[in-house]
């Protein structure tokens, strides 16, 4: 696709804390790196939020005509249980020990499950999906650069980033707003404290203890890389020492992304990224999602309804739609009420798409009475996405267009009131934004198929009742279906269709 002219995309840069005009380093090429999952458990709503957020970013950049290289890593080593203190057991190694299998079996199993979950949510696979364990040599080389620049030190086989030395000529904490001195008293790091020059120095390489089964040879010891190192290594390998956008969850701002900036400056002498983007967190019924609170819901449970917090199963597209209803920098609260409302809204929009794509376009020579309303709503789809990927406002504009489609279908708006040009723009905009940009598609769940079969059966029963002049039964079927949001439509030839009514 040729790059669209006069793109006015602005995005919120977490580093500057303001919206900035997006200007790629080397247009039309764009480099996008996103922190991916640590694959030791089933994918959950937090994973889905980040994946959908940056899937939309990827989709819209491509829609604008940019040639995007999208890199998202898989963390399969180095992520310890207490990530801030850099202590405890490797999360994947612990899972392997508990299940009595090899660590790479854990990685393989949960990487597959992650991909299955993201595919169900219609997230496009990244251009490149590198693993930490596949880039040990590159991580060692990066450590050597930082050591050569005097910003790291080795002690007892481990290598630490020297933050005090770094801060002599660099700021640390600009991205997150954290001040190290304020964190000093709250540090709980006890492992390796006698080795570190400062409690806030973070590990670039850790010497493996005898029980640590994930280990590699290095110039300093048999050990494993620090968690922060992998993203710096892989992002710069595949996107260059300076690239356009780095994304991830808000919880990664500190210490992970702050450490990434320090490592890149320490190795290459400059910031790695022009724009930092962070999606906000997910809550369940107003509370932070956690296993101890009993409100931790993974995607499989959400899709099959097998969780005590869920009243029913929800199609993956309903989950995606719910996330699109909020701006990516806003918190999202999942509840049965929110999911039910999203389900109605999703079906209403998709029903309009079905009606639109079956609709005969108007003939030339119409008066175009509602053309301006149509064109204004189409423009708002673009301007909303140009305003920091505001999917919530873009959906509102799509629903304005959806109401016009429904009115045209119902005869509330005569086709003479819309010109062929406006109808073509309406159809093009809705199809591009619903499917291509928002990434929505028809529901694939068995429930959706069963609903259609049941409604068609009831339509047949109602038709038989009408033939027998049993209008009481006919009206009851129509009215009962309407109560659950299914509106029957009888045309002049006696055929009956239905649509989901979420109004």
Q: What is the CATH number of the domain that holds 133?
A: 3.40.50.620
Residue ranges for the known binding site for Zn(2+) are 35, 231, 256, 260
- The answer to whether position 2 is within a domain reads no
* 292: helix, strand or coil: coil
Q: pLDDT per position in the chain (503 positions), as tens?
A: 455 555 799 999 999 999 999 999 999 999 999 999 999 889 999 999 999 999 999 999 999 999 999 999 999 875 564 444 445 577 777 877 777 777 888 888 999 999 999 999 999 999 999 999 999 999 999 999 999 999 999 999 999 999 999 999 999 999 999 888 766 533 334 455 678 999 999 999 999 988 888 899 999 999 999 989 999 999 999 999 999 999 999 999 999 999 999 999 999 999 999 999 999 999 988 888 766 666 789 999 999 998 888 999 999 999 999 999 999 999 999 999 999 999 999 999 999 999 999 999 988 767 788 999 999 999 999 999 999 999 999 999 999 999 999 999 988 999 889 999 999 999 999 999 999 999 999 876 545 556 777 888 899 899 889 889 999 999 999 998 887 778 888 877 677 888 766 44
Among 283, 233, 262, 69, CA closest to 166? 262
335 plus 405 within the same structural domain: yes
Whether 429 is in a domain gets the answer yes
Residue finishing a domain among 249, 279, 309: 279
Residues 258 and 349 in one domain: no
- Which CATH number fits the domain that encloses residue 391? 1.10.730
Asked whether residue 268 is assigned to any structural domain, the reply reads yes
Q: Does 49 reside within a domain?
A: yes
Check: CB of residue 418 under 8 Å from CB of residue 374: yes
Beta strand segments in 208-331, E = 216-217, 222-225, 243-249, 273-279, 282-284, 287-288
Return the pLDDT at 453.
Answer: 72
**Shared-domain flag, residues 387 and 454:** no
471: how many CB neighbours lie within 10 A of its CB?
10
The pLDDT of residue 1: 44
- Report the domain count for the chain: 3
Residue 206 within any structural domain of the chain: yes
pLDDT at site 447: 54
Q: Which phi-psi region, left, alpha or beta, contains residue 253 (left: φ > 0; alpha: ψ -120 to 50)?
A: alpha
Is residue 464 assigned to a domain? yes
Say whether both 238 and 326 belong to one domain.
no
Q: Which residue has the tokens 């309407």?
A: 482
Is 59 in contact with 437 (CB distance < 8 Å)? Answer: yes
46 & 177 share domain: yes
Say yes or no: 221 and 305 in one domain. Answer: no
What pLDDT shows up at residue 338? Answer: 96
- Domain membership of residue 442 (yes or no) is no
The answer to whether residues 32 and 75 belong to one domain is: yes
Of 437, 460, 481, the residue that ends a domain is: 437
Could you say which of 236, 263, 279 is where a domain stops? 279
Binding-site entries for ATP: 291
Whether 142 is covered by a domain: the verdict is yes
Residues 328 and 239 in one domain: no
My answer on whether 250 and 148 are in the same domain is: yes
- Residue pair 262/80 in contact (Cβ under 8 Å)? The answer is no
Domain span at 194? 10-279
| 288 in the same domain as 271 | no
* Spatial distance between the Cα atoms of 199 and 496, rounded to a whole number of angstroms: 72
Instruction: Summarize the chain as % helix, strand, coil (round to 5).
Output: 45, 15, 35
Q: Which residues contact 337 (CB under 8 A, 6 or more apart)?
A: none
The Cα 250–Cα 253 span in angstroms is 6
Task: Show binding-site residues.
Answer: 35, 231, 256, 260, 291
**Residue 185 shares a structural domain with residue 107:** yes
Tell me, yes or no, whether 411 and 361 share the same domain: yes
**Burial letters for 301-336: b for 16+ Cβ neighbours within 10 Å, e otherwise?**
bbbeeebeebeebbbbbbbbbbbbbbbbbeebbbbe
């Amino acid at each position: 696709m040729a790059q669209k002219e006069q793109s006015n995309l602005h995005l919120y840069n977490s580093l500057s804390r303001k919206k900035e005009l997006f200007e790629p380093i080397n247009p039309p090429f764009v480099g996008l790196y996103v922190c991916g999952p640590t694959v030791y458990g089933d994918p959950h709503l937090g994973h889905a939020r980040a994946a959908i957020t940056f899937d939309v970013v990827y989709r819209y950049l491509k829609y604008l005509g940019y040639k995007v290289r999208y890199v998202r890593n898989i963390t399969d080593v180095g992520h310890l249980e207490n990530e801030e203190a850099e202590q405890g057991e490797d999360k994947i190694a612990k899972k392997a020990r508990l299940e009595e299998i090899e660590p790479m079996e854990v990685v393989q199993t949960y990487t597959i499950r992650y991909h299955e979950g993201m595919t169900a949510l219609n997230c496009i696979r990244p251009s490149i999906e590198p693993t930490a364990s596949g880039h040990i040599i590159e991580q060692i080389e990066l450590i050597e650069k930082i050591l050569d620049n005097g910003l790291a030190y080795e002690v007892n086989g481990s290598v630490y980033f020297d933050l005090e030395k770094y801060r002599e000529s660099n700021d640390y904490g600009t991205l997150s707003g954290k001040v190290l001195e304020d964190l000093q008293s709250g540090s709980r790091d006890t492992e390796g404290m006698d080795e570190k020059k400062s409690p806030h120095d973070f590990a670039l390489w850790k010497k493996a203890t005898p029980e640590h089964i994930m280990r590699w040879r290095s110039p300093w010891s048999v050990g494993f890389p620090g968690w922060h190192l992998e993203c710096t290594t892989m992002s710069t390998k595949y996107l260059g020492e300076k690239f356009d956008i780095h994304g991830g969850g808000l919880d990664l701002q500190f210490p992970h992304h702050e450490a990434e900036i320090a490592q890149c400056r320490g190795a290459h002498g400059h910031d790695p990224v022009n724009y930092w983007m962070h999606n906000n967190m997910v809550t369940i019924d107003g509370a932070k999602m956690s296993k101890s609170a009993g409100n931790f819901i993974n995607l499989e449970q959400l899709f099959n309804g097998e969780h005590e917090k869920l009243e029913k199963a929800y199609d993956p597209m309903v989950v995606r739609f719910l996330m699109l209803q909020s701006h990516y920098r806003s918190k999202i609260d999942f509840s049965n009420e929110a999911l039910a409302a999203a389900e109605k809204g999703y079906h209403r929009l998709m029903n309009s798409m079905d009606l639109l794509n079956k609709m005969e376009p108007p003939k030339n020579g119409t008066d175009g009475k509602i053309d301006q309303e149509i064109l204004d709503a189409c423009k708002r789809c673009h301007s909303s996405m140009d305003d920091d990927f505001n999917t919530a406002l873009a959906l509102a504009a799509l629903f304005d267009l959806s109401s016009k489609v429904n009115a045209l279908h119902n005869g509330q708006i005569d086709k003479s009131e819309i010109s062929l040009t406006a109808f073509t723009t309406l159809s093009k905009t809705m199809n591009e934004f619903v499917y291509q940009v928002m990434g929505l598609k028809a529901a694939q769940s068995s429930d959706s198929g069963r609903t259609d079969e049941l409604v068609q059966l009831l339509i047949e029963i109602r038709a038989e009742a009408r033939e027998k002049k049993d209008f009481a039964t006919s009206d009851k079927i129509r009215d009962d279906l309407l109560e659950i949001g299914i509106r029957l439509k009888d045309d002049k030839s006696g055929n009956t269709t239905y649509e989901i009514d979420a109004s």
